[in-house]
Copies of this chain bind each other. A is one copy, B any other.
Amino acid sequence: MSVTREKILELGEELILTKGYNGFSYQDISTAMGIKNAAVHYYFPSKETLGTSILKTNVQRFEEMVENMQNRNFDEWHQLESFMKIYLKSNRENKICLIGSLGTDINTLNDPMRVELQKMVDRIVSWLESILLSGKEKGLFEFSISAHDQALQILSSLIAGLQLARILNKSEFKNIHQSIWEEITPQNKK
């Protein structure tokens, strides 16, 4: 796969996370790369094909991470920690996440992008749910609501945590991150 294409995907993702899907243009990408905006159209005919590709790349990256963690026999606690580290990194870079960013613009996206976004969120929620459930059975986590609801709760905190931190103060995110652990860490381990 061409290096130009890779670079466009990378820049496009970064722009979605910093300026929002409707807040950036092909010009932003082409200027950063020293080419004309139409060159971007060669690789991604429409903005929506670019958006869809970015989403698919992210789902793939997520699946690779999950597979990798299973191969290394990460326990549920470390799997959750690894997932949260993605958000800690985004916070350091003053970015929000794809879900929060594209969630705002969802009514302006075409069907393929919307479907891909739904698939991504679905996949993450069900993975979180399964991690929480088996982790709870092992005594690694403790919570009283359903694993599904707890998954939604954690994901919400992470998504909006990044948004709030960017509005208020970058450092607020570590409080949110901390609170998530407080919430699901068993009493005897506190």
Residues of B within 8 A of A150 (CB): 179
Asked whether, in the complex, the Cβ of A106 is within 8 Å of the Cβ of B168, the reply is no
A164-B19 contact, Cβ under 8 Å, with A148-B175, A152-B176, A153-B176: no
Interface hit among A31-39, A94-102, A134-142: A94-102
A20-B105 contact, Cβ under 8 Å, with A149-B178, A172-B152, A179-B152: yes
Nearest-neighbour CB distance to chain B for A118, whole angstroms, equals: 6
Residues of B within 8 A of A101 (CB): 104
Nearest-neighbour CB distance to chain B for A178, whole angstroms, equals: 7
Give chain A interface residues in 160-178, CB to chain B under 8 Å.
Answer: 160-161, 163-164, 166-168, 172, 175-176, 178
User: Which of A's residues lie within 8 Å of B, judged by CB?
Assistant: 18-20, 22-23, 96, 99-101, 103-108, 117-118, 121-122, 125, 144-145, 148-150, 152-153, 155-161, 163-164, 166-168, 172, 175-176, 178-179, 182-183
